[in-house]
Amino acid sequence: MDNSSHSIKIIQKGMHIGAQVEGIDLSKNIDQSTFKIIEDAFVEHEVLFFRNQQITSDHQIKFAENFGELSIHPFSPNSEKIPELIIFDNNEDNPPFGTDCWHSDETFRDTPPMATMLHGLIIPEIGGDTVFTSMTASYEGLSDKMKHFISGLECIHDFKPFRALFGNDEKSKIELRYFEDLYPPVSHPVVSKHPISGKPVLFVNPQFSVRIKGMAESESRTLLNQLFEQAKIPEFQFRHQWAVDTVVIWDNRSVQHYAVHDYFPARRKLNRVTIKGEKVLPFSETNDLRLIKDNKSPLPDQSKVSHGGHIPKRPLARNPVKS
3-state SS string over 232-282? CCHHHEEEECCCCCCEEEEECCCEEEEECHHHCCCCEEEEEEEECCCCCCE
Q: What's the min distance (Å) between Cβ of 234 and ligand SIN?
A: 18
Q: Is residue 257 annotated as part of the catalytic site, yes or no? A: yes
When the beta carbons of 42 and 88 are compared against ligand SIN, the nearer one is: 88
Could you say which of 105, 157, 194, 268 is catalytic?
105
Is residue 182 within 8 A of residue 162, CB to CB? The reply is no
| Site residues for ligand SIN per CB under 6 A | 88, 99, 105, 116, 130, 257, 259, 270, 272
When the beta carbons of 35 and 264 are compared against ligand SIN, the nearer one is: 264
Q: Is residue 261 annotated as part of the catalytic site, yes or no? A: no
Nearest to 107 by CA among 283, 273, 254, 285: 254
Q: Is residue 59 annotated as part of the catalytic site, yes or no? A: no
- Integer-rounded Cα Rg, in Å, for the chain is 22
Q: What's the min distance (Å) between Cβ of 76 and ligand SIN?
A: 8
Q: Is residue 25 annotated as part of the catalytic site, yes or no? A: no
Could you say which of 103, 194, 211, 268 is catalytic?
103
Is residue 16 within 8 A of residue 44, CB to CB? The reply is no
Which residue spans within 98-216 are E strands per DSSP? 115-122, 130-134, 154-157, 186-189, 191-193, 200-202, 209-212
Q: What's the min distance (Å) between Cβ of 272 and ligand SIN?
A: 6
How far are the Cα atoms of 60, 117, 129 from residue 270, in angstroms, in the given order?
12, 10, 12
Q: What's the min distance (Å) between Cβ of 135 and ligand SIN?
A: 15
Phi-psi map region of 128: left, alpha, beta (phi>0 left; psi -120 to 50 alpha): left
When the beta carbons of 84 and 105 are compared against ligand SIN, the nearer one is: 105
When the beta carbons of 47 and 186 are compared against ligand SIN, the nearer one is: 47
Q: What's the min distance (Å) between Cβ of 86 and ligand SIN?
A: 8
Instruction: Return the half-sphere exposure (C-beta side, CA atoms, 13 A cut-off) of residue 117.
Output: 29
When the beta carbons of 230 and 246 are compared against ligand SIN, the nearer one is: 246
Active site residues: 103, 105, 257, 272
